[in-house]
Amino acid sequence: MILAQNNSDMYPNRFNRPPALYFWPYDFDELRRETAALGELNNDVGGIDPLPRGWYSWLIQIGRRVRARLFAWYTRPLRRFNAAVARSLQEIVTALDHASMNMNAMGHLARNMAALESRLAQAEKANAMFRESIQEQLALLSRQIQAPGILSQGANLGVPSDAIENVLSKRLPHDSRLYIDTGLETEKTIYIIGLFGTGRLYVNELILEHIGERTKYFRDTIRLHPGPTPMIYSGHATNKYLSYGQARPELTSRINEAVRSGFAESVFVYRHPFDSLLTNWIWWRTFIRENRQVSGISQVYQNIDHLCADLEKNFPEFQSFAEGDPKFFAAVHPRFLSFDEFVEETELHLESASLALRLEDFIIDPLVELTKIAGVMSVDLDLRGLRVNHPRTKAYGYLEVRQKVHNFRNFLNGLSVVTKRRIERMGYKSAA
């Protein structure tokens, strides 16, 4: 965007003109990448580098592990410090991004307001002409009816003064030749919302890969706008309970109000709560124990048997997590949702979302579900030769775990009646 421009009248000699000033927008992508890299670098603190294969390598690695354990008292505070620095930088990026998006939104709304003012002026002019035409026609009709031979002498036609107002006050249909388009853009702010462990990141990938030009407005965070914008926000959010890593209920409430007002659309992604429960337990225990974030169960366990063995061995820990025990989440504040709260939050999102999508349906036919998202966004998809990737997860994986782990089966059977009914209203089976 040009902020200052050369003026030929002020500087007739082109060699004496001051240089033009330009503004190049900064999109923060490089800053985001550097901030994201901090998490990986932090995981390397106190870690052990791999060695080439050899008969002596395992002896060296044992010595390294012993040394790393001895220095754990030193590296633990360092990890916490690095994590705090990463969070601070992330907040800086978010704040700058928010300020940039607000500036874009203000420009977007200003253009809409200018278009609206122009269209309203045209509408007022057309209504004035329409009013004059009706008055002339009624006056002519009145004179014709009062002519000799049509009405008896002394007869008079009374036209109510508010008749014209009633005609003008009626809303004109869109197909009427007198209907005037306001010129406002039809784009709405889109919110892709999910709880932890429901497949939201997979939906993000589909959107970024297939919706074309509008991807430049995509942000993997949640921000509120008071009016319609072309922005697409994606993130975790709760309606009722405070939860670590998820937008606060106050923000979610305002987003829901924007959806009800027609300024925004919300797409809620969910899956069977039992599958989310297992995924979230693995994510949280890895994060708390190792300060490491994983994207799936396969990053921690080689197969389902290893998962079942670990769950059987550490079932008290799993139960503590599922019940939202503050002791389990002592390292973070606020704590994460208990399983009952998680199910309740899912039900609340289903009641308020413009579009609700099950991850299991993406596994069956991802193209159909992507078409639904494009419809909410008012994006035209080119379906010719379009190939959409399936989720990398397995539907209803909890069934195999339930069969192999007796304690897990008892836990599912012992859920409250209210929670079971909520799961059934989602369209899933709650009986274990």
- Average confidence score pLDDT of the chain: 79
The predicted-structure confidence for 129-150, as pLDDT tens digits, reads as follows: 777 777 777 777 776 666 555 4
Residues 230, 393: contact at Cβ < 8 Å? no
Q: Which amino acid is at 223?
A: R
Read off the tokens for 332.
């973070």
What tokens were used for 11? 């500087």
Q: d(Cα 135, Cα 289) in Å, to the nearest integer?
A: 81
Question: CA-CA-CA-CA torsion for 102, 106, 108, 114, nearest 10 degrees?
Answer: 170
Lowest mean pLDDT among 41-50, 66-75, 164-173, 415-424: 164-173
Our CA dihedral for 92, 98, 100, 105, rounded to 10 degrees, sits at 180
Task: Indicate the range of 88-97, 218-227, 288-297, 413-422 predicted with least confidence.
Answer: 88-97
pLDDT tens track for 96-124:
776 766 676 666 667 667 767 777 777 77
CA dist 94 and 100 (Å) reads: 10
Dihedral sign from CA coordinates of 276, 344, 314, 333: positive
Q: Which backbone phi and psi does 85 adopt, to 5 degrees?
A: -60, -45
> By the 8 A CB rule, do 209 and 366 touch?
no
Strands 21-22 and 2-4: antiparallel
Tell me the whole-structure pTM to 2 decimals.
0.61
State the DSSP H helix or E strand holding residue 189, giving kind and residue range, or none if neither: strand 189-194
Report the distance separating Cα 196 and Cα 421, nearest Å.
Answer: 21
Residues in the chain: 432
pLDDT class of 385 with cuts at 50, 70, 90: confident
State the pLDDT confidence band at 73, using cuts at 50, 70 and 90: low
- The secondary structure of residue 171, as a DSSP letter, is P
Please report the pLDDT score of residue 117 as a whole number: 74
Query: 5-63, pLDDT tens digit by residue?
Result: 444 343 344 334 444 333 344 555 666 666 666 666 666 666 656 656 666 666 676 77
Token representation of residue 108: 């977007």
Could you tell me how far CA 70 lies from the centroid of its own chain? 44
**Residue 33: how many CB atoms within 10 A of its CB?**
9
**Cis before 334 (ω within 30):** yes
CA 280 to CA 275: how far, in whole Å? 9
57-61, 213-217, 293-297, 428-432: which has the highest mean pLDDT? 213-217
Which positions ≥6 away from 17 have C-beta within 8 Å? 6, 7, 11
Let me know: does 347 contact 422? Beta carbons within 8 Å.
yes
Distances (CA, A) of 23 to 2, 5, 217, 304: 6, 12, 20, 55
**Structural domains of the chain ordered from first start:** 191-425 (3.40.50)
Determine the Cα–Cα distance for residues 131 and 369; give it in Å rounded to an integer. Answer: 49
> Which pLDDT belongs to residue 109?
67
Could you identify the residue written with the tokens 């919706």?
Answer: 211
Give, rounded to a whole angstrom, the gap between the first and last alpha carbons of the chain: 61
CA 38 to chain centre: 24
Give residue-wise pLDDT tens across range 312-342.
999 999 999 999 999 999 988 899 999 999 9
- How many angstroms from the chain centroid is the CA of residue 341? 20
